[in-house]
Amino acid sequence: MNKTSYDFIVVGAGSSGCAVASRLSENGRFTVALLESGPKDSNPWIHLPLGYGKTMWDERVNWRFKTEPEPEMGGRQIYWPRGRVLGGSSSINGLIAIRGQREDYDRWRDLDCAGWGWNDVFPYFLKLETNSEFTGSQHHGQWGPVSVSSIPRKHELIEAVIEAAGRLGVPRTADFNGARQEGVGYYQLTTRNGLRVSAAKAYLKPARGRQNLAVLTGAHASRVLLQGRRATGVEFRHDGTDRRLTARLGVVLSAGALQSPQLLMLSGIGPAEELKRHGIAVIVDRAHVGENLQDHLQIRLIYKCAKPITTNDELNSVFGQIKIGAQWLLARAGPLAIGINQGGLFTRVLRHSKTPDIQFHIATLSADMAGAKPHPYSGFTLSVCQLRPESRGRITLSSSDPTAAPRIQANYLSTEGDRRCVVAAIAFARRLAGTAPLSNYVAEEMLPGAGAVTDDALLQFARDHGATIFHPSGTCRMGADKAAVVDSRLRVRGIEALWVADCSIMPTLVSGNTNLPAIMIGEKAADMIQADAADTGPISGRVQSTATG
């Protein structure tokens, strides 16, 4: 990267940022620099679907954040892994392809986020996707950069879950992204031929030859450069040296729900008192930067399986490990090609809910947490989360040092509604485990255990064992009101030529996994940014395209 000036600078090569940078550079009109704090995605565990058990703890590709002590979670600090590598969290996530419910986006529209209703965002979900399983379906794309595949082989345990759920009134579905989300079945995954399809693989690999796109890894953004109230570039640290790049048309922050608000605050855009406390000059007093933090809290019920058919059994034996390796090498199949969670379930447990309010991730494996060593017994996990939490947390600065981690306060279970939902979700999971034929596979409930029988005991179990399911959002909320951080075109209010495009702009958390919605946000943002820049100056000079470390 020899040039120091580009039309656009995109900060963060995650799910949204890769889409933004690729689309902005696609027609050759604009020069684009994409900055990523982490390394290239060369770690082989990134590309094997089951490999996120390894990357979940690997500081080379993972920020390994922790929350502040959580008041409603026994004062525990909850581990929050986030991707620090090309592809961001799409390179280390559980690969599950879920869009959320159409009602989620219509709710955004009704919250004065014009252009973000389901009918507005659905074309972008189609645009980003290639789905060979549902060829010809009106619900799926066929020509997009992100490959979405179905799990090819049925598993005895997942089939038992599906049949048991049916007896509880939850219908079998082949497509959680179809006409309706409610149901039980197998997840679709962001994979192709047994390999992960991260945002980097989907968007940056095809763009590798573009002369107008420069990708720089190991580049940790320090702040947005401002002239008055206009973004003019980015300061970043690379190989121990502070460097600057100039942006002729603007800067796009796609650093995620934790670090996009952190970067705004480091740049003087945020709550005045918070900035002054860290000696940062206030450019725009924007009190809600970092507020509105939302996440899905997962509660993992663990069962000892009555039959040796789980992934634990394979991973805990040399023969099983050889079998898993052979399945992948010979057929790109088996656990290495799928990951941990095969089955999903969306249903309602609260009386007032008109659409599913809880989601299950059903794993044919059990461990203390993802990435930990499997339990020494045959085990499986019913992980359940509340889809639309009421609790709101915040991101604040721990220091004016841009390399310091932000302070994260999730405020899990801080409302009565959330506490009521989590107890109902655990109770439903127990009903599911106790319903035939799944009950025939349960040798023992390991967690929460037979001693937890009252609602208070179940709530205490959630407090003691609940953890993130890795979906932080909302901290640069989009809206038309004065408290919103960005407007409906994702422009930072009060600053020209500065956009935010990632899950931080979500006014409310979507009902499901956030990778596809994050990519959708990147796709839509790129269109809006290009439209805003349509009449701004001539095509810039060309820049050599490289991915450098």
Domain end, chosen from 437, 470, 503, is at 470
Please state, as a whole number, how many other Cβ atoms lie within 10 Å of the Cβ of residue 541. Answer: 12
Q: What is the C-alpha separation between 56 and 65, in angstroms, rounded?
A: 11
Residues 350 and 303 in one domain: yes
Q: What is the C-alpha separation between 32 and 376, in angstroms, rounded?
A: 50
Is 85's pLDDT higher than 90? yes
Domain end, chosen from 443, 470, 497, is at 470
Catalytic site residues? 471
Residues 208 and 248 in one domain: yes
SS3 300: strand
Tell me, what's the pLDDT at 541?
42
Residue at 242: amino acid letter: D
Contact (Cβ atoms closer than 8 angstroms) between residue 395 and residue 251: no
Residues 218 and 171 in one domain: no
Residues 247 and 377 in one domain: no
Q: What is the pLDDT of residues 348-381, one digit of tens each?
A: 999 999 999 999 999 999 999 877 899 999 999 9
Residues 373 and 465 in one domain: yes
Whether residue 87 lies inside any domain: the answer is no
Residue 546, domain extent: 1-35+201-282+533-549
Q: What is the C-alpha separation between 88 and 13, in angstroms, rounded?
A: 6
Q: How many domains does the chain have?
A: 2
Residues 162 and 216 in one domain: no
Q: What is the pLDDT of residues 384-428, one digit of tens each?
A: 999 999 999 999 999 999 999 999 999 999 999 999 999 999 999
Q: What is the CATH number of the domain that holds 211?
A: 3.50.50.60
Whether residue 312 lies inside any domain: the answer is yes
Contact (Cβ atoms closer than 8 angstroms) between residue 28 and residue 212: yes
SS3 527: helix
Average pLDDT score, the chain:
95
Q: What is the C-alpha separation between 164 and 327, in angstroms, rounded?
A: 29
Q: Which residue has the tokens 């290639």?
A: 130
Contact (Cβ atoms closer than 8 angstroms) between residue 458 and residue 490: no
Q: What is the pLDDT of residues 248-300, one digit of tens each?
A: 999 999 999 999 999 999 999 999 999 999 999 999 999 999 999 999 999 99
Q: In this prediction, what percent of the chain has a pLDDT beyond 90?
A: 91
Beta strand pairing call for 5-11 and 188-189: unpaired
Whether residue 496 lies inside any domain: the answer is no
Whether residue 328 lies inside any domain: the answer is yes
Whether residue 84 lies inside any domain: the answer is no
Whether residue 330 lies inside any domain: the answer is yes
Q: Which residue has the tokens 């959630």?
A: 462
Residues 268 and 232 in one domain: yes
pTM comes to 0.96
Mean pLDDT of 532-540: 59
Whether residue 218 lies inside any domain: the answer is yes
Residues 315 and 440 in one domain: yes
Residues 303 and 247 in one domain: no
Residue at 235: amino acid letter: E
Instruction: Enter the tokens of residue 504.
Output: 């931080």
Cα–Cα distances (Å) from 343 to 20, 90, 154, 171, 421, in that order, read 31, 20, 10, 13, 21
Residues 435 and 300 in one domain: yes
Residue at 77: amino acid letter: Q
Whether residue 443 lies inside any domain: the answer is yes
Residues 323 and 456 in one domain: yes
Q: What is the pLDDT of residues 6-35, one digit of tens each?
A: 999 999 999 999 999 999 999 999 999 999
DSSP for 451-517, written as a single string? T--SHHHHHHHHHHH-EE-S--B-TT-B-SSTT-SB-TT-BBTT-BTEEE-SGGG-SS--SS-SHHH
Q: What is the C-alpha separation between 230 and 245, in angstroms, rounded?
A: 15
Q: What is the pLDDT of residues 451-481, one digit of tens each?
A: 999 999 999 999 999 999 999 999 999 999 9
Q: What is the CATH number of the domain that holds 368?
A: 3.30.560.10
Please state, as a whole number, how many other Cβ atoms lie within 10 Å of the Cβ of residue 74. Answer: 12
Cα-Cα end-to-end distance for the chain: 10
**Using alpha carbons only, what angle is made at residue 96 by residues 368 and 125, rounded to the nearest 5 degrees?**
155
Domain end, chosen from 423, 450, 470, is at 470
How far, in whole angstroms, is CA 105 from its chain's centroid? 17
Is 75's pLDDT higher than 90? yes
Could you tell me if residue 110 is left (phi over 0), alpha (psi between -120 and 50 degrees) or otherwise beta? alpha
Q: What is the pLDDT of residues 438-451, one digit of tens each?
A: 999 999 999 999 99
